[in-house]
């Protein structure tokens, strides 16, 4: 089963609109005609109108780094799916480890957000991954299973089709310590097995599982060569147009 790879930029809390526009203006010519992989940018909410407008005539998708699970309401500082759609966003990250770590996002919240995204036709990239202490304690497999099972509660196989998962070992994020391709592939296989048990073989064979954590132009091709790795979610190295384009063209 060949799955089209998905290469995504998570800009985190970086860039202002002028910098975002300059990035897209430099990036699009570098990836013009590149149809082998799907490409997506995940900027901060304040940058979304600029980035969606700049990417409008391209195949580059744009999404949010986070959404709220409620349709609307008194949730100061949050962004609704309706707001995301209104500014041209089509994708969202859900449950990034920084959301889990600094904003107390639980598997239950991730699950609610996933329901909301799917209901509105937004492509969700659900992030999972173990922290260093869990890996060292031999708990990686059980952590991944719990996160995947928790995210998928109450979701039907039909509704689940658009879901993408990103495996991001927390110890590899922003540390320069990439998981080896073999170690990442091993974790991806755990996730795919769990997805098979929940949604069946057909879903799991089509499920794209991205790797994230210190992906750079220098290590992208070795990671992407793994059958189990269906793309990348890139933080630091996605902030520069040439660097991210080099990853896209691994």
**Residues with catalytic roles:** 96, 168
Number of other residues whose CB lies within 10 A of the CB of residue 134? 18
Task: Find the shortest distance in angstroms from Cβ 74 to ligand 13P.
Answer: 29
Work out whether 174 is an interface residue with ligand 13P (CB under 6 A): yes
Going 213 to 218 to 223 to 224, the CA torsion angle's sign is positive
d(CA 163, CA 209): 9
Task: Find the shortest distance in angstroms from Cβ 103 to ligand 13P.
Answer: 14
Number of other residues whose CB lies within 10 A of the CB of residue 14? 15
Spatial neighbors of 72 by CB under 8 A, at least 6 apart, are: 80, 82
DSSP classification of residue 126: E
Q: Which stretch binds ligand 13P (CB under 6 A): 108-116, 135-143, 185-193, 230-238?
A: 230-238
- Figure out which of the listed residues 37, 38, 130, 168 binds ligand 13P, where binding follows CB under 6 A: 168
* Cβ proximity of 160 and 152 under 8 Å: yes
Per rule CB under 6 A, count of chain residues that contact ligand 13P: 14
* Cβ proximity of 237 and 216 under 8 Å: yes
Work out whether 129 is an interface residue with ligand 13P (CB under 6 A): no
d(CA 64, CA 238): 15
Work out whether 169 is an interface residue with ligand 13P (CB under 6 A): no
Site residues (CB under 6 A) for ligand 13P, limited to 207-226: 212-215
- Figure out which of the listed residues 160, 173, 223, 248 binds ligand 13P, where binding follows CB under 6 A: 173
- Figure out which of the listed residues 5, 6, 7, 10 binds ligand 13P, where binding follows CB under 6 A: 10
Site residues (CB under 6 A) for ligand 13P, limited to 51-110: 96
Residue numbers of the site for ligand 13P (CB under 6 A)? 10, 96, 168, 173-174, 212-215, 233-237
């Amino acid at each position: 089963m060949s799955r089209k790879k998905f290469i995504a930029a998570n800009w985190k809390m970086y860039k202002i609109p002028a910098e975002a526009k300059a990035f897209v203006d430099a990036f699009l010519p570098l990836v013009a005609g590149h149809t082998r992989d799907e490409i997506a940018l995940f900027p901060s909410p304040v940058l979304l109108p600029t980035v969606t407008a700049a990417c409008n005539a391209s195949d580059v998708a744009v999404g949010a780094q986070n959404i709220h699970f409620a349709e609307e309401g008194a949730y100061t500082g949050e962004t609704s799916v309706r707001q995301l759609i209104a500014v041209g966003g089509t994708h969202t990250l859900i449950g990034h480890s920084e959301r889990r770590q600094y904003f107390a996002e639980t598997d239950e919240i991730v699950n609610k957000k996933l329901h909301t995204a799917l209901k509105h036709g937004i492509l969700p990239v659900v992030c999972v991954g173990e922290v260093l202490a869990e890996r060292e304690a031999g708990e990686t497999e059980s952590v991944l299973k719990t996160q995947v099972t928790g995210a998928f509660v109450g979701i039907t196989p039909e509704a689940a089709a658009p879901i993408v998962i990103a495996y991001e070992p927390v110890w590899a994020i922003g540390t320069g310590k990439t998981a080896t391709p073999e170690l990442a592939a091993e974790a991806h296989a755990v996730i795919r097995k769990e997805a098979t048990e929940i949604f069946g073989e057909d879903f799991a064979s089509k499920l794209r599982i991205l790797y994230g954590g210190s992906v750079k132009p220098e290590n992208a091709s070795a990671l992407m060569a793994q059958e189990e790795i269906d793309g990348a979610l890139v933080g630091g190295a996605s902030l520069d147009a040439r660097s991210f384009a080099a990853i896209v063209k691994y």
